[in-house]
Amino acid sequence: MPEVGEVQNDEMRQMVENHWRNLIRLAGVNPQMAVEEVFRFEAIIGQLAGQLPLSQEAEFRRSIQSLRGEYADWERTNPDTLRTSLNVTGGGRGTETAWLANLETPASVDLKEEQDAFWRALLVNGIPNPKTFQSQWMAFLGGLQAKIAHLSQPEQDGIMTRVVLRNAQYIALAKDDRDALRAELGVPRSAELHSTTQLVVDTAVRATVWQGISALFRAFR
């Protein structure tokens, strides 16, 4: 990690290059670890940015975003050359890394607030039957897509990939640790979790599939 202070362009590029080496290697071994690498890197960037002088912080974030977008485009358009440049052999490629390129694409919109509100309502209110839930879920996804329809396709894919991953996180918590899900979403412990929660979880898994595939594999159509 570079020393806190003025971060030079070559240091930032080296950070992003090392990050992409890790992504490519991990994607071929354990996709979950590749996801963790994305968020680990973002945490490091946030930590570094927070320690820079205000006059440098915004520019540092913009520069890192731009570099991440550059390497994401490289992965989409010429992955073999990217691997040669990074001196990486083996690792993931094709569909194994396409979704990582989505995650690395800079996003100007964050849909977490909308997604959290949707899940919060599910936990508190419950869903009367599978058909109603399916309808609400599809309407919700359609609304998210409408919010970002004006953006470039790579940015849309990146945003929706994060929606899919966050949904998977919430589904896992709903199954295994609902107290943690309540805490994540700000749902009071006193709020009743309806018996339909398992229905919501199971249906959400099925309903998410089409959007996940669309976001992750569009680059190969």
Given this model, what pLDDT does residue 192 score? 55
Burial of 1 from C-beta contacts in 10 A (0-12 / 13-18 / 19+) = exposed
Given this model, what pLDDT does residue 219 score? 38
Given this model, what pLDDT does residue 4 score? 45
Kindly report, residue by residue over 29-50, the tens digit of the pLDDT: 888 888 889 989 999 999 999 9
Given this model, what pLDDT does residue 64 score? 95
Given this model, what pLDDT does residue 16 score? 96
Q: What backbone phi and psi angles, to 5 degrees, belong to 16?
A: -70, -40
Given this model, what pLDDT does residue 170 score? 82
DSSP states along 90-104 = SS--THHHHHHHHHH
Q: Which of 36, 34, 14 is nearest to 24 (CA)?
A: 34
Given this model, what pLDDT does residue 221 score? 39
Kindly report, residue by residue over 97-135, the tens digit of the pLDDT: 888 898 898 888 889 999 999 988 887 876 556 677 778
Residue ranges in the chain whose pLDDT is less than 70: 1-7, 126-130, 190-221
Given this model, what pLDDT does residue 12 score? 92
Sequence length of the chain is 221
Q: Which of 90, 102, 98 is nearest to 220 (CA)?
A: 98
Given this model, what pLDDT does residue 2 score? 53
